[in-house]
Amino acid sequence: MTESRHTMSAQDPSERIKNFREVMCGYDEETAVSEAKRCLRCKARPCMEGCPVGVEIPAFLGLIAERKFEEAYEVIHRTNALPAVCGRVCPQERQCEGKCVRGKLGAPVAIGALERFAADYHMAHSAVPAVKTAAGRRVAVVGSGPAGLSCAGELARRGYSVTVFEALHLAGGVLVYGIPEFRLPKPIVLREIAELEAQGVEFVTDTVVGKTVTVEELFGDGYEAVFLGTGAGLPKFMQIPGENARGVFSANEYLTRINLMKAYEEDAETPVFRAKHVIVVGGGNVAMDAARCARRLGAEVTVVYRRTEEELPARKEEVLHAKEEGIAFRFLLGPKEVLTENNEVRGLLCTEMQLGEPDASGRRRPIPTGNTVSLEADCIIPALGTSPNPLLARTTAGLVFGPHGEIAADETGKTDLEGVYAGGDAVTGSATVILAMGAGRAAARAIDGYLKNK
Amino acid sequence: MNKILRREQLNESVVRIEVEAPRIAAKAKAGQFVILRAEERGERIPLTIAGAGGGAIQLIFQVVGGATMSLAQLGEGDRICDLVGPLGMPTPIEGLKRVAVVGGGVGCAIALPVARALCEQGAEVVSIVGFRSRDLIILEREFKEVSAKFYLMTDDGSAGERGNVCVPLARLLAAGEQFDAVITIGPLVMMKFVAETTRPYGVHTVASMNPIMIDGTGMCGCCRVTVGGEMKFACVDGPDFDAHLIDFDETIARAKTYAAFEKEARERHCNLYKIKGEHRA
């Protein structure tokens, strides 16, 4: 039996809190080969069941073990449009690695790290491919985040001529405005997008579908089907007194300033609030990203979460990294009031919670005890998820929306409007990169079926 | 796309540009805005569309910080790096027959297209515009063209009547003049006092908000405004709201969030352009 799971080297916490460079350093070839050999090649392939885009995991692990790195990348890329991204940001412990048989008697195979290795190898050993012009039937993809990119990649593979419309000035959606550089370096996102351009996908930025152009007009322009991957929309706030004071920023705003607008750079044109003590409210990946960015900008940071550590929805590695970086966690606290002075943040008054019976999500529901705690801060960042964007709803007649404003679509992404498909956070509410990619890919297959029968 | 077709200095710090933007021009309605980045590393800033036609839009802006300084550096033939729109909801003017349009300073650039749209739908427009002094007056001729009555105010009395825009507005209301709506666009403090002036008369009053924004599509929540106790996003729900329901004091406080940074950026840009100017000379 081969040895235990290989750890990946990382930037030292005391060093990395002073920069925005990538934390994890990746495997070298020898480590990757050795780790890939840990795969037991079980017949049932439970790891694949855990993958929302169905990557042929044992096949690519086998190729890495044989040192056929480029071939391993090809296998992943067949079903996953963004291997270098997923290897870095997927919650593997709840997906592929969570199902790995090796995990039952020790540590699972480091599938995520190996996916990243194969993708990084490919990027390092091949030139950025040339942009190609596609000549197939035209499909419009709205939104260039994980759902849109995955849908575009799958459609391009099936011979369609795809145009991706993006509202911001840069393609990538949450991969560029949300996830920080130290977790997902932006050159990697650019390269993944270049790979799609090489497959013939066209990107049009600075275009808000629903404003600059409507869905109906897209059909008029000759697109035969439309995929809506508009993502999560409006940030949710805490709905407590004081939250419009100076110093309260949604995680979306804080992260967009830092990641998309590079506000952390010395000579940046876009400002970001330089706080002494930041409180981040929430326990998901976005909360961890905001907390770790604030730390790198020099703040003392506390994460406030209303349940316990066990229920934290964030990826395990992010929580671990946050702790290593000196970020404090206060569990079983719910925000009650933002304490202010002259409209500036001075602290957060919290209610102590205890856990009651499980709620609809299966997690134990936090119940206020009545006791309060007051924490000092000059900046508060709620990271509480988002509700869908109303722009499409207002301008797309016939599109049906759910009770929370989410686009109503079936499991293939089909909406009530002919030729219009949807997927990702716009349909499910805040979820993960890989679930959005799964939905984008499923919709691409459904669009293919629809257009072949049209 | 995004090419600057014409550039005109309206006063020492206010510039009007006409930008080639056929997609935006075809859709733009009075009260809507664009978000732009003048240059590659620039900040995203919202600017209200001051006019549209012939495949181009007009933008009027005051040079206040780094981003507007970079924009002001661009000349005819140059391209704006990024331009997206039209964003926000159009100013609700449907069915209005008699309206007072109250503009202050560079806000007049936004008030003008609203006054023009009202005039075009056959409404009677009473325009009240205010500036600090004679040198800063912009768009006087254009306002007169679309207004049944026109009142010009300056703080120092160097042109028109001395005083602020609330003076003639209060006089008209006290004299029993009836308006279907008062639409006000200008500095926050001015709009707050316009709202207080009309409140006792129960005249429907609309204020156009111009808070800090990044994406302009509702994603960041940075432009949130409290209206009637509810949180609204100026970029998707506005920028126009019922002025009697807006929490102006909160908005005024929020507008100062990056004041220190903006001051520093302004100085940095001034120095930069001074150096560039010296090189050129």
CATH number for position A352: 3.50.50.60
* Residue pointed to by tokens 């020492």: B12
A253 and A370 assigned to the same domain: yes
Q: Per-residue pLDDT tens for B39-97?
A: 988 899 999 999 999 999 999 999 988 889 999 999 999 999 999 999 999 999 999 99
pLDDT value of position B276: 55
Distance from CA of B100 to the nearest CA of A (A): 29
A227 and A329 assigned to the same domain: no
Q: How confident is the model at residue A364 (pLDDT cuts 50, 70, 90)?
A: confident
Task: Give the residues of chain B that fall short of pLDDT 50.
Answer: 280-281
pLDDT value of position B34: 96
Inspect the interface and report whether the beta carbons of B219 and A233 lie closer than 8 Å. Answer: yes
The sign of the torsion formed by the CA atoms of A121, A127, A131, A135 equals: negative
pTM score of the predicted model: 0.92
B65 dihedral zone (left: phi>0; alpha: psi -120 to 50; beta): beta
Domain boundary among A355, A382, A409: A382
Q: Per-residue pLDDT tens for A162-221?
A: 999 999 999 999 999 999 999 999 999 999 999 999 999 999 999 999 999 999 999 999
Domain span at A410? 138-233+386-453
Q: How confident is the model at residue A229 (pLDDT cuts 50, 70, 90)?
A: very high
E strand or H helix at A165, and its extent? strand A161-165
Supply φ then ψ for residue A320, to 5 degrees: -60, -50
CATH number for position A108: 1.10.1060.10
- B18 is written with which tokens? 């006409």
Residue among A234, A270, A271 whose CB faces B233 most closely? A234
DSSP code of residue A353: E
List chain A residues with CB under 8 Å of B236: 234, 389-391
Task: Report cis status (omega within 30 of 0) of the bond before B168.
Answer: no
List chain A residues with CB under 8 Å of B221: 234-235, 237, 250, 252-253
Q: Is the pLDDT of residue A448 over 70?
A: yes
pLDDT value of position A451: 95
d(CA B247, CA B230): 10
A179 and A201 assigned to the same domain: yes
Distance from CA of B168 to the nearest CA of A (A): 33
A259 and A369 assigned to the same domain: yes
E strand or H helix at A420, and its extent? strand A420-422
A373 and A390 assigned to the same domain: no
Mean pLDDT (chain A) is 93
Candidates A142, A186, A206, A395: best to mutate against B (most CBs of B within 10 A) is: A206
Residue A3 inside a domain? The answer is: no
DSSP code of residue A330: E
A255 and A357 assigned to the same domain: yes
Give pairs for B231-235: CB < 8 Å, separation 24+.
Answer: B231/A237, B231/A244, B233/A234, B234/B88, B234/B209, B234/B210, B235/B46, B235/B87, B235/B88
A207 and B CB contact within 8 Å: yes
B231 and A CB contact within 8 Å: yes
Nearest by Cα to B50 from B80, B81, B8: B8
pLDDT value of position B272: 62
If DSSP states are collapsed to H, E and C, what string results for B41-87? CCCCEEEEEEEEECCEEEEEEECCCHHHHHHHHCCCCCECCEEEEEE
Residue A132 inside a domain? The answer is: no
A249 and A354 assigned to the same domain: yes
**In chain A, % of residues over pLDDT 70:** 100
Q: Is the pLDDT of residue A53 over 80?
A: yes
Q: How many helices (H) and strands (E) does chain A have?
A: 18, 14
A372 and A403 assigned to the same domain: no
Nearest by Cα to B21 from B68, B43, B50, B54: B54
How far the first Cα of chain A sits from its last, in Å, is 54
Question: Which residues, 6+ apart, have CB-to-CB distance to A349 below 8 Å?
Answer: A335, A336, A337, A338, A339, A372, A373, A374, A375
A51 and A121 assigned to the same domain: yes
Nearest by Cα to B93 from B154, B196, B34, B181: B181
A355 and B CB contact within 8 Å: no
Candidates B84, B87, B250: best to mutate against A (most CBs of A within 10 A) is: B84
Please give the tally of structural domains in chain A.
Answer: 3
pLDDT value of position B280: 45
Residue A48 inside a domain? The answer is: yes
A360 and A299 assigned to the same domain: yes
How far the first Cα of chain B sits from its last, in Å, is 31
Residue A262 inside a domain? The answer is: yes
Strands A202-204 and A386-387: unpaired
pLDDT value of position B64: 85
List chain A residues with CB under 8 Å of B84: 167, 169, 206-208, 212
Q: Per-residue pLDDT tens for A57-115?
A: 999 999 999 999 999 999 999 999 899 999 999 989 889 999 999 998 889 999 999 99
Residue among B37, B226, B233 whose CB faces A169 most closely? B37
Contact map slice: A 75-134 vs B, CB within 8 A: none
Residue type, B186: G
Chain A nearest-CA residue for B220: A253
Residue A5 inside a domain? The answer is: no
Domain boundary among A362, A382, A402: A382
Candidates A176, A204, A216, A234: best to mutate against B (most CBs of B within 10 A) is: A234
Domains of chain B by range and CATH?
Answer: 2-88+260-269 (2.40.30.10), 98-255 (3.40.50.80)
Task: Report cis status (omega within 30 of 0) of the bond before A180.
Answer: no
If DSSP states are collapsed to H, E and C, what string results for A71-105? HHHHHHHHHCCCHHHHHHHCCHHHCHHHHCHHHHH
Q: Is the pLDDT of residue A343 over 80?
A: yes
Exposed, middle or buried, A217 (CB in 10 Å: 0-12/13-18/19+)? middle
Cα distances from B174 to residues A298, B147, B198, in angstroms, run 56, 21, 10
Residue A57 inside a domain? The answer is: yes
SS3 A279: strand
Exposed, middle or buried, B273 (CB in 10 Å: 0-12/13-18/19+)? middle
d(CA B118, CA B101): 10
Residue A446 inside a domain? The answer is: yes
A191 and A323 assigned to the same domain: no
Residue A8 inside a domain? The answer is: no
E strand or H helix at A235, and its extent? strand A234-235
A188 and A116 assigned to the same domain: no
Domain boundary among A96, A125, A154: A125
Q: How big is chain B by its Cα radius of gyration, in Å? A: 18
Q: How confident is the model at residue A355 (pLDDT cuts 50, 70, 90)?
A: very high
